């Protein structure tokens, strides 16, 4: 090898080690940056005319496992959906209480029954009559408060759904911009690793909001679809574009409603959790509360000995279902003696007459039909109330249990992804030591070649 080739090879080695040092330093600096993927320098032997010319830098490698990323995103997306739903159900469950809690509807109903039982033993006692009215009012408040809690959780889910859709649309617009930048840089042969890192971070964010599938074109551009195949992004989107839309409460992608059946259309992501909360969980909770409230109104209407249209409880004017509108008959508030004689009675019964009180107590023990598939089709008011509270608490515990299972799987895949594609600072520091040694060796070659040239020049002189 001539001195010229030796110098050329040593210089190429110095240039390569300089780039390697810069790249390793970049890796270490971004070791804690979310979504950063470790970069490596691809080098090979430079050959010209069959002779080695040193080392050639072929580019920057960004090696990722697309299948691992796909699985990690999917599991994280499923966890996000379940975490969102479990959180909403926990908020509602706090207001609902357990069957034995003071704040629960079932306890309020049991206390009303107890008040009637105490009144039966002292039918002409004014305080006992007032206690019945107070218990009835307390039951109404509990139904109102529980229904209001369900409506609040439902409205909150709808508001968060709108925010989530907006976030997805903004991210998709930015991903489209990155698509164009990556395709342009790739066509020029320029490095695109950091741009792809940013795009992957945004894709991770989108998959947290809604389950997605992706396909990467040869140009480096990524196509984003929902899990059921509706295209959300193909190349670049104009500013302000809305691949996802909320119209009259329905979620649309590509003009198709995808919120009708979350298990098939959306499948995962926070959006799925919000849709399930707003369109399944809270409507179901309200329907069960309404059925209980309607049953209470009807049972006490039927318990009246006098024919008529109203009973101890009535439906107040306004919007909402029976649980939101049930009220104590105003006639009872001004005439407490009617809890002994009957709401429709024209005059008080004789002191000690418990005929009507017995009819009211029978309203608690009588069995009636209910229509919710998750609850007994035939039960007493008390059994239905207790079963309803237990069942609704069961929805929460089931959701939380599934959330924990999803988290274990999501964390495991995320750790595997980080271990494979992330930065291990210890490994990078080892690389720096090797780079230092390689740099020193190339420098020594240059020094030796320089001394040889000096010697040749001295001989010539």
User: What's the whole-number mean pLDDT along residues 175-201?
Assistant: 92
Q: Which of residues 271 and 34 earns the better pLDDT score?
A: 271
Helix (H) / strand (E) containing 46: strand 40-48
Q: Name the more confident of 43 and 289.
A: 289
Query: Mind listing the pLDDT tens digit for each residue in 251-276?
Result: 888 778 887 766 667 779 999 999 99
Residue 96 pLDDT level (bands cut at 50, 70, 90):
very high
Which is more confidently placed, 340 or 239?
A: 340
Measured in degrees and rounded to the nearest 5, phi and psi for residue 345 equal -70, 140
- The answer, yes or no, to whether residue 26 has pLDDT greater than 60, is yes
The pLDDT of residue 282 is 96
Residues 351-389: tens digit of each pLDDT: 888 999 999 999 999 999 998 888 989 999 999 999 999
Examine the pLDDT at 313 and tell me if it is beyond 70. yes
Q: How confident is the model at residue 307 (pLDDT cuts 50, 70, 90)?
A: confident
Q: Is the pLDDT of residue 198 over 90?
A: yes
> Bigger pLDDT: 210 or 459?
210
Mean pLDDT of 136-163: 96
Proportion of the chain above pLDDT 90, given as a percent: 55
Strands lying side by side in the sheet with 212-216: 212-216, 222-226, 231-233
Helix (H, G, I), strand (E, B) or coil at 125: coil
* pLDDT (mean) for 291-300: 95
A 10 A CB-CB count for 158 gives 17
Q: Is the pLDDT of residue 1 over 60?
A: no
Alpha-carbon gap, residue 90 to 88, rounded angstroms: 5
pLDDT greater than 80 at residue 10: no
Nearest C-alpha neighbor of 424 from the set 22, 36, 71, 20: 36
What average pLDDT does the segment 422-430 reach? 87
Can you give the pLDDT at residue 422? 87
Q: How confident is the model at residue 305 (pLDDT cuts 50, 70, 90)?
A: confident
Query: pTM, whole model, 2 decimals?
Result: 0.86
Distance CA 405, CA 34 (A): 24
- Other beta carbons within 10 angstroms of residue 321's beta carbon come to 17
């Amino acid at each position: 090898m001539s001195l010229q080739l030796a110098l050329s090879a040593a210089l190429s080695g110095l240039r390569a080690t300089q780039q390697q040092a810069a790249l390793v330093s970049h890796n270490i600096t971004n070791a804690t940056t979310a979504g950063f993927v470790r970069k490596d320098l691809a080098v090979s032997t430079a050959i010209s005319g069959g002779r080695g010319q040193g080392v050639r830098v072929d580019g920057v490698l960004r090696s990722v496992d697309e299948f691992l990323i796909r699985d990690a995103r999917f599991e994280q997306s499923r966890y996000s959906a379940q975490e969102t739903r479990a959180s909403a159900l926990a908020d509602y469950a706090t207001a609902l209480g357990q069957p034995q809690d003071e704040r629960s509807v079932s306890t309020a109903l049991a206390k009303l029954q107890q008040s009637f039982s105490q009144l039966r033993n002292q039918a002409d006692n004014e305080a006992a009559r007032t206690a019945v009215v107070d218990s009835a009012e307390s039951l109404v408040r509990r139904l109102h408060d529980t229904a209001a809690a369900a409506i609040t959780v439902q409205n909150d889910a709808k508001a968060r759904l709108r925010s989530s859709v907006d976030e997805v649309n903004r991210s998709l617009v930015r991903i489209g911009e990155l698509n164009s930048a990556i395709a342009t840089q790739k066509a020029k042969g320029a490095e695109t690793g950091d741009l792809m890192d940013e795009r992957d971070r945004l894709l991770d964010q989108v998959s947290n909001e809604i389950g997605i599938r992706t396909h990467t074109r040869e140009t480096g551009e990524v196509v984003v679809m929902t899990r059921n195949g509706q295209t959300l992004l193909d190349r670049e989107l104009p500013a302000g574009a809305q691949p996802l839309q909320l119209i009259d409460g329905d979620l649309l992608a590509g003009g198709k409603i995808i919120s009708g059946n979350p298990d098939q259309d959306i499948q995962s992501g926070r959006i799925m959790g919000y849709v399930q909360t707003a369109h399944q969980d809270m409507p179901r909770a309200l329907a069960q509360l309404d059925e209980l409230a309607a049953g209470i109104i009807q049972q006490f209407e039927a318990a009246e000995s006098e024919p008529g249209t109203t009973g101890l409880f009535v439906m107040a004017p306004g919007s909402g279902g029976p649980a939101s509108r049930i009220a104590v008959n105003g006639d009872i508030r001004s005439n407490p003696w009617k809890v002994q004689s009957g709401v429709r009675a024209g005059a008080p019964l004789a002191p000690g007459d418990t005929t009507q009180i017995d009819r009211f107590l029978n309203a608690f023990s009588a069995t009636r039909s209910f229509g919710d598939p998750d609850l007994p089709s035939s039960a007493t008011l008390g059994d239905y109330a207790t079963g309803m509270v237990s069942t609704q608490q069961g929805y929460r515990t089931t959701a939380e249990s599934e959330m924990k299972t999803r988290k274990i799987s999501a964390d495991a895949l995320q750790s595997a992804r980080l271990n494979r594609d992330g930065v291990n600072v210890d490994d990078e520091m080892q690389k720096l030591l090797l780079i230092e040694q390689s740099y020193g060796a190339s420098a020594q070659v240059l020094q030796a070649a320089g001394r040889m040239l000096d010697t040749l020049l001295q001989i010539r002189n």
